[in-house]
Chains A and B, each alone.
Chain A
Amino acid sequence: DGGITQSPKYLFRKEGQNVTLSCEQNLNHDAMYWYRQDPGQGLRLIYYSQIVNDFQKGDIAEGYSVSREKKESFPLTVTSAQKNPTAFYLCASSIVGTGGSYNEQFFGPGTRLTVL
């Protein structure tokens, strides 16, 4: 059963603590992405990676960190430096193809993070 899994589904964190969100895919996709979703703001890109051991900052990378040690895994750490971390976090993946075709992004079910 191919797809993207995110864990946990719900996560609670105290202020000042770092927390890591898991994202795993078995679609054999090279590219992976992390988005943050807030009501009325759509999805905003945090980080993305096109290949193992390489990743790039998205539009709102401050206060977040990632690693890409394996093709199938792209964990996101929300650090204590993120001022407003309560949000719904979505992981996605896609192939990395040649130009001339849209490489559809497939999304996981998301993790809802709440800072207490």
Chain B
Amino acid sequence: QQQVKQSPQSLIVQKGGISIINCAYENTAFDYFPWYQQFPGKGPALLIAIRPDVSEKKEGRFTISFNKSAKQFSLHIMDSQPGDSATYFCAATSGYRGTSYGKLTFGQGTILTVHP
């Protein structure tokens, strides 16, 4: 059962444009939502993360928007650069409150290509 649905599967934007990746989840026990960035042939690395008690979190050109009632969250990349070309995964975990184990459930991934 897929508990985190991610779209689109692939995305092409021009340099300087805005990249938007969307995720939706089903499990209301999820209480932490990280995004990972993966370059070809490498392991994923944590990019930015959000808790559901805030609606938005911004770090540089990367912003997460969170809609708890709709059970949706999205990653916005402003002023997209060719160096942002990578695969992006959203994830969710219920390990934030009270437990020491943060089992991650990943979305399917989005391949982002930024053309110069």
A contacts, CB < 8 Å to B:
4, 31, 40-45, 48, 50, 58, 90, 92, 94, 96-110
Complex contacts, A31 vs chain B, CB 8 Å: 101
Complex contacts, A106 vs chain B, CB 8 Å: 45
B46 to chain A, nearest CB (A): 5
- What 1/0 mask marks residues of chain B from 69 to 106 whose CB sits below 8 Å from any chain A CB? 00000000000000000000100010111111111101
Q: Would you call B99 and A40 a contact (CB within 8 A)?
A: no
Q: Would you call B95 and A107 a contact (CB within 8 A)?
A: no
Complex contacts, B9 vs chain A, CB 8 Å: 40
Q: Would you call A109 and B43 a contact (CB within 8 A)?
A: yes
Some 17 contacts from A to B, beta carbons below 8 A apart, are: A42-B89, A42-B107, A42-B108, A43-B44, A43-B89, A45-B104, A90-B43, A94-B102, A96-B101, A98-B100, A99-B97, A99-B100, A103-B101, A106-B45, A107-B43, A109-B43, A110-B43
Most buried by B among A31, A44, A103, A105: A105
Q: Would you call B96 and A107 a contact (CB within 8 A)?
A: no
B107 to chain A, nearest CB (A): 6
B24 to chain A, nearest CB (A): 14
Q: Is the interface of A mostly helix, strand, loop or mixed?
A: loop
Say which residue of A42, A45, A92 sits within 8 Å of B43 (CB atoms). A92
Identity of the chain A residue whose Cβ is nearest the Cβ of B31 in the assembled complex: A102
Complex contacts, A104 vs chain B, CB 8 Å: 34, 46
Complex contacts, A41 vs chain B, CB 8 Å: 108-109
Known: A40-B109, A102-B32, A102-B95. Is A109-B102 also a contact (CB below 8 A)? Answer: no
Complex contacts, A92 vs chain B, CB 8 Å: 43
Query: In the complex the two chains form, what is the Cα distance from A107 to B6 in whole Å?
Result: 21
Identity of the chain B residue whose Cβ is nearest the Cβ of A92 in the assembled complex: B43
Q: Would you call A101 and B96 a contact (CB within 8 A)?
A: yes
Query: In the complex the two chains form, what is the Cα distance from A45 to B95 in whole Å?
Result: 15
Identity of the chain B residue whose Cβ is nearest the Cβ of A9 in the assembled complex: B41
Q: Would you call A43 and B106 a contact (CB within 8 A)?
A: yes
Q: Would you call A96 and B104 a contact (CB within 8 A)?
A: no
Complex contacts, B44 vs chain A, CB 8 Å: 43, 90, 107
